[in-house]
Chains A and B, each alone.
Chain A
Amino acid sequence: MKKKEIFVLILRLFFGCLFLYSSYFKLTEPLDFAETIENYQVFGSWLSHWGAILIPASELILGILLLTGIWIRESFTASLLIFIAFDIMIVQAAIRGLDISCGCFNPSENGPIDALKILENGLLTVMNVAAVVLTRPAPEGNMQQLESG
């Protein structure tokens, strides 16, 4: 197994488990998660409720897909979109000085949004970008070379 494949496997397992863990708490307490989204004061109550339905279910499906190895690149791309959205939400909350808890992986977590939280999410986004890049399909020329070789 090549180094690249091992690295992708580690990222798949890491993000897969992270998404399953995160979705579990959000799915079991949808109202808490809806309130967490609403606390960011970006979306109203109505969109927060929809977010509380869509986001945990997306995380659950992404977790399953990443762990089972189905649609890997698509799953990493979708998770990157989610992480970018989370990053924007967190940074805007920090800039506006909102005194709210992140609720990123568990709606009942009480950690404030500080530089460490932004760094943590930034790091996850970078890891996700790496995963998307590493799972990029090989150019056709290389494929032909591989096939002929």
Chain B
Amino acid sequence: MRQLLRIFLLFIIALISGLVINELHPRGISWRLLFIPLFSQSSSEKHEYTVTSVDSAFVLWQRKEIFLVDIRSESDYLFDHIPGAVHISLKELKAGRLLKIAQPSEREKLLIYDGEGNMGNLNLAARILSNQDFPEIYLLFGGYMAWIQRGYPIEGGDM
């Protein structure tokens, strides 16, 4: 009986240590993601996401009403990106990285973009974020390429 208790205790200690290590880890799994069944709404209440044109996106960006998420490769992002955008890979999105980065006020309205508006990637990213209860998600039609073609501002590009 004492052995069973010790084994139980061992796993409890492991769980607590694991949670502490995860919290200290810069790429750890988000707390919110660990307790997502407690936070998430029923499937009927899931939030919608909208495909938006580059011009509408530009207006939202100008008003500073939107949090920009760049899901291209890190090297593409480092080369140039929409000013104010943060880079997050799909894998990191899945792990709830955005929940750690974005302040609660910034989570209200998100715009996700990739290189050329690949709807497969964008839809996947939107589904992931929708499951994490981000209320308003926009997908940039035509991607970063369309943004550049319209001559809208970019950051970087001087490398």
Q: Which residues of A approach B to under 8 Å, CB–CB?
A: 27-31, 34-35, 45-46, 49-50, 52-54, 56-58, 60-62, 65, 71, 73-75, 77-78, 81
Contacts and interface: CB of A to CB of B under 8 A. Distances in A.
Contacts of B83: none
B18 A53 contact: yes
Contacts, number: 73
B29 A30 contact: yes
Given A30-B28, A74-B7, A61 B17 contact: yes
Contact of A30 (B7, B22, B36): B22
| 10 interchain residue pairs of minimum CB distance | A57-B18, A58-B14, A53-B18, A74-B6, A57-B14, A31-B95, A57-B17, A61-B14, A78-B7, A49-B29
Contact of A46 (B15, B27, B37): B37
B148 interface: no
Secondary structure dominating the interface of A: helix
25 contacts: A27-B25, A30-B28, A30-B95, A31-B27, A31-B95, A35-B94, A46-B36, A49-B29, A49-B95, A53-B19, A53-B29, A54-B14, A54-B15, A57-B14, A57-B18, A57-B21, A58-B11, A58-B14, A58-B18, A61-B14, A62-B10, A71-B6, A74-B10, A78-B7, A81-B7
Contacts of A35: 91, 94
B17 A60 contact: yes
A60 B29 CA distance: 18
